[in-house]
Amino acid sequence: MKILKSLLCLSLFLGSLTSTAQKADSPVNDSAFIKKIYDLTLTQSHCHDWLRHLCKEVGHRLAGSPQAAAAVNYMQQLMLSLDFDTVWLQPVIVPHWVRGGEEIVRIVSSYEGNGFDLRATSLGNSVGTGPDGLRAEVVEVHSLDEVEQLGKEHIQGKIVFFARPFDETEYYTFRAYGKAVDQRVWGPSKAAEYGAVAVLVRSMTNATDEVPHTGTLHYVEDQPRIPALAISTFDADQLSRLLKKGKVEIYIRNHCHMLKEQLSYNVIGEIRGREKPEEIILLGGHLDSWDVGEGAHDDGAGCVQSIQVLATLKKMGYQPKRTLRCVLFMNEENGLAGGKEYWRTSNEKDEYHMAAIESDRGAFTPRGFTVDGHPDVFEEKYAKLLRWQPLLKTWRLEFSKGGSGADISGLKSQKGLLFGYEPDSQRYFNYHHTKRDVFEAVNKRELELGAAAMTALVYLLDQYGLD
């Protein structure tokens, strides 16, 4: 009897050790799997090659353009070649804005003389001046409120120059962008409200250089539409200096205009979940880009990283519990039509996006993910994420509360979590919306590290959920 009791106690003791070991093994196994994700992505991924083709063979991809249509076809064929379970195109009606001929912004009268050209680019959705252009005196402001304070007496018939720079004290450059960009987006309509004939905006960048940055504006329906252009930060500083000395007159000519709306598409591919297919984990970026570069960082990189996530897991033989869906959105830059159509359709189908991850901040060294969500569930779900922090610390990835991405923002009502992939942001606004945003500006290893980081997060979300 004593021998039997001893054997029983030993058996229970060993069983306890085995159970403890199995629990302890789980993070070890997760760590090992994540290491394999990184190993494979850094040695066998193809996202850099896909980006090269997108940038060099297709080129810029402004919504409604022939290049945007070519990009849709390329990405659809790419997903089909990777043998995703389902690949489809979601129709979207998009605006078709064209830049037209080269812009001219020239100082024709100032304290130091005339004939100085300022490096400029029309803002997206802007109207043109007409073939004769326009000439007017410049008035400098630093906020929309200042336009109101000056009123029609000082604004009517003038070119309003919005000169507010980035806040250099902001470590996170996207926050500095957010504090400055209202003058680009809403400035033209605010100036028009008080009788301005055109608008110049200091380019949205923390760099002082000679490269102008485009970007979208939004005209207010009940206000006149006036031409709006961005000038380089170097030229903005020069213009401010001249205005301190006296009156400045500028001649502007640009040719941009809207054409008829076009039919385009979001490109979607997915791998169906084997246990909880109704729970969707979305990865995405926007396929369109501005027409002044190749849209490499913004946002070709996010598109190819999102595809690479599914391709990597498929190559590893991983069978997801939940549905993994890659969505390449059309028209983020000057309308958000693709995102809006996706949300509308998803809500109509009563879908549940357990998580959505957008990569739209460039292809620089990964830092982690910003997280957003519906206030009813956010804190509880965010606490679950923090349990995974030790697994991601090895790869220098952290979670932080913040925004996610424009294309996925409308999914918040489904009460999953929304993630923004967050690379180091210090260099991003050297390239954002400029002719510099070309394939050669993207570092292959940094691009792949970003894809691996996204894949690691998808793996944890799929394995453990958020409930």
β partners of residue 422: 368
Same domain (yes/no): 421, 277: yes
Q: Within this chain, do residues 250 and 278 fall inside the same structural domain, yes or no?
A: no
3-state secondary structure of 394: coil
Band (pLDDT 50/70/90 cuts) for residue 214 is: very high
Name the nearest CA neighbour of 358 among 328, 400, 388: 328
pLDDT tens digits along 95-154: 999 999 899 999 999 999 888 999 999 999 999 999 999 999 999 999 999 999 999 999
Q: State what percent of residues in the chain have pLDDT above 70.
A: 94
Helical axes 66-81 vs 301-315, angle rounded to 10°: 10
Q: Could you read off the pLDDT of 41-86 as tens digits, one per residue?
A: 999 999 999 999 999 999 999 999 999 999 999 999 999 999 999 9
Q: Note whether 419 and 402 are within 8 A (CB).
A: no
User: Helices 2-44 and 444-464: crossing angle, nearest 10°?
Assistant: 150
**3-class SS at 248?**
coil
Backbone φ, ψ for residue 253 (5° rounding): -140, 125
- Residue 292 to residue 65: CA distance in whole angstroms: 13
- State how beta strands 417-423 and 352-358 pair: parallel
Containing 137, the helix (H) or strand (E) segment is: strand 134-141
Domain presence at residue 27: no
* Structural domain harbouring 211: 103-257
Distance CA 215, CA 123 (A): 5
| DSSP classification of residue 96 | E
Residue 27's pLDDT is what?
A: 58
**Which tokens is 443 given?**
């570092």
Report how many domains make up the chain.
Answer: 2
Residue 24 lies in a domain: no
Residue 248 lies in a domain: yes
Under 8 Å between Cβ of 172 and 109: no
153 forms beta bridges with: none
Does residue 301 form part of some domain?
Answer: yes
Q: Is the pLDDT of residue 320 over 50?
A: yes
DSSP of 187-214, one letter per residue? Answer: HHHHHHHTT-SEEEEE-S-SS-SS----
Asked if residue 44 belongs to a domain, the reply is yes
Distance CA 98, CA 29 (A): 53
Q: Does residue 23 have a pLDDT over 50? A: no
User: According to the 3-state scheme, what is the secondary structure of 250-305?
Assistant: EEEECCCEEEEEEEEEEEEEEECCCCEEEEEEEEEEECCCCCCCCCHHHHHHHHHH
* Continuous segment of H or E residues that includes residue 76: helix 66-81
pLDDT of residue 26: 53
Closest C-alpha to 282, from 356, 201, 364 = 356
Please confirm whether the linkage preceding 299 is cis (ω < 30° from 0).
yes
Q: What is the pLDDT of residues 101-118, one digit of tens each?
A: 899 999 999 999 888 999
Closest CA to 64 of 296, 258, 295: 258
384-395 mean pLDDT: 94
Domain assignment present for residue 334? The answer is yes
Stated pTM of the model: 0.92
Rounded mean pLDDT of the chain? 94
Q: Are residues 46 and 75 in the same domain?
A: yes
Taking only the tens place, the pLDDT of each residue in 265-313 is 999 999 999 999 999 999 999 999 999 999 999 999 999 999 999 999 9
pLDDT score of 241 more than 70: yes
Euclidean distance between CA atoms 186 and 301, whole angstroms = 28
Statement to judge: residues 170 and 268 lie in one domain: no
Q: What is the rounded average pLDDT of the residues 179-187?
A: 98
Answer yes or no: do 297 and 244 share one domain.
no
Residue 121 lies in a domain: yes
11 inside domain = no
